Amino acid sequence: MPKCLEGVRVLELARVHAGPFGGMLMSDLGAEVIKVEGLHGDDTRNINPQINGESVYFTSYNRGKESITLNLRTERGKQLFRELVKKVDVITENYRPGTLAKIGIDYPALRKINPRIIVASLTGYGQDGPYAPRPGFDMVVQAVGGMMDLTGFPGNPPVKVGVAIGDYIGGFYLAVGVLGALRRRDTTGDGEHIDVSLLDGMVSMLEYFVPIYLHTGKVLSHVGNTRVDSVPCDTYKAKDGYVQISGQRGVIFDRFMKAIGHPEVLVDPRFSDRKTRHLHREELDAIINEWVGSRTRAEVVETLSESEVACGPVQNIAEMVEDPQVKHREMFIQVDHSKAGKLWAPGVTLKMERAAKTKPGPPPMLGEHNEKIYGGLLGLSADEIAELKAQKVI
């Protein structure tokens, strides 16, 4: 039973977070992903914590890949890269616009070598426009893209999302773009250049906040843990922590009020529909807070889940890792690393019924697959590979 991307070979020039995350998604789907690193390796190899000199952070974006070293500042390094281009389907990169053109390996140049090549370029702001030359990192893009102003509570400073959401969504779009380009190539035989922008990805996630502004002129800001059009939907304090409850829709609201022992709310004109509930949010939340506050998180979740009301505890990282549903879905796995021993790594998010399952391997050590790729794929001899190392080309 084949994997979805079995037979697809990806050359990953992308570094740090967003691009490597997209490459890992393709690896999970069965692609062979060859990570091309400079002689000192990806920057994330140096991030703590480390086990026997190997960064466990690096694992989060690079498990299941192969690693080769290559110095693209040398003519011989560029020659080797062009030879590799003939052997691969996809190249991912996240250099600033124009960088690869300066060294002669941008998409127009690579297309001449391999017309079927798909190049996915991921940058902060895209390949064109007034911001294109600027460096763009996740938190800056969260700020420029409107996300930071929406996050947090009224009266407080802007807050970033807890994780590098801009990098993650950029990696997702990169992988989706490659999948689309591969499908198109199946029918046309032609390659593609994909332009992925972290800012574009961030803006695409702003759901109804943008239409509200464009159609009404109203700017929403610092919306906290609720939703502007949905009441009740918020974080409520239990005896031992917090729970998030979403009980705003139709029959779900009915079940919610009955479950907490307040059926009279259902005939109160202040709470008759979503619009009136929004106007009387504080009164309704007071009823819910009183009920939740007298119970533990587990008691709240058990009662509301039995009534088919969406709710869940606000868990810290330790609680989430030990959560039985997370464990059942195998969202964290152990991989055997030749130097660091057993490492925890993110599990495969995409579960497919008919495609062969991917069993991710460990993250590669720097240059671990030089002999395999340069010798096996390009046919270089052991002496030639040794000479390349001596000349600091690889």
- Of 28, 149, 167, 234, the catalytic one is 167
What does the pLDDT read at residue 234? 94
What would the DSSP string read from start to end of 246-305?
E--SHHHHHHHHHHTT-GGGGG-GGGSSHHHHHHTHHHHHHHHHHHHHTS-HHHHHHHHH
Same domain, 346 and 369: yes
What does the pLDDT read at residue 359? 83
Residue 213 domain-assigned?
A: no
> Helix, strand or coil for residue 50?
strand
**Total count of domains within the chain:** 2
The alpha-carbon radius of gyration of the chain (Å, integer) is 25
Same domain, 48 and 96: yes
Q: How far apart are CA 296 and CA 119, in angstroms?
A: 52
CATH number at residue 249: 3.30.1540.10
Same domain, 138 and 27: yes
What does the pLDDT read at residue 103? 93
Residue 336 among the catalytic residues: no
Q: Backbone phi, then psi, for 219, in 5-degree steps? A: -105, 115
Same domain, 76 and 31: yes
Same domain, 172 and 112: yes
Nearest to 201 by CA among 236, 164, 238, 248: 164
- The residue type of 223 is V
Same domain, 172 and 67: yes
Which helix H or strand E contains 157, and what residues bound it?
A: none
Q: Distance from CA of residue 131 to its chain's centroid?
A: 23
pLDDT (tens, 9 = 90+) of the chain, 394 residues, equals 789 999 999 999 999 999 999 999 999 999 999 999 999 999 999 999 999 989 999 998 999 999 999 999 999 999 999 999 999 999 999 999 999 999 999 999 999 999 999 999 999 999 999 999 999 999 999 999 999 999 999 999 999 999 999 999 999 999 999 999 999 999 999 999 999 999 999 999 998 899 999 999 999 999 899 887 788 999 999 999 999 999 887 899 999 999 999 999 999 999 988 889 989 999 999 999 999 999 999 999 999 999 999 999 999 999 999 999 999 999 999 999 989 999 999 999 999 888 888 888 999 999 999 999 999 999 999 999 999 999 999 9
Same domain, 44 and 192: yes
Same domain, 55 and 104: yes
Spatial CB neighbours of 188, under 8 Å, sequence gap ≥ 6 = none
Q: How far apart are CA 357 and CA 4, in angstroms?
A: 9
153-161: long-range contacts (C-beta < 8 A, 24 or more apart)? 153/222, 153/224, 154/221, 154/222, 154/224, 155/222, 156/222, 158/222
What does the pLDDT read at residue 355? 84
Residue 223 domain-assigned?
A: no
What does the pLDDT read at residue 273? 86
Same domain, 148 and 167: yes
Domain end point (choices 274, 292, 315): 315
Which helix H or strand E contains 47, and what residues bound it?
A: none
Domain end point (choices 315, 347, 374): 315
CATH number at residue 164: 3.40.50.10540
Q: Backbone phi, then psi, for 286, in 5-degree steps? A: -65, -40
**Domain span holding position 276:** 233-315
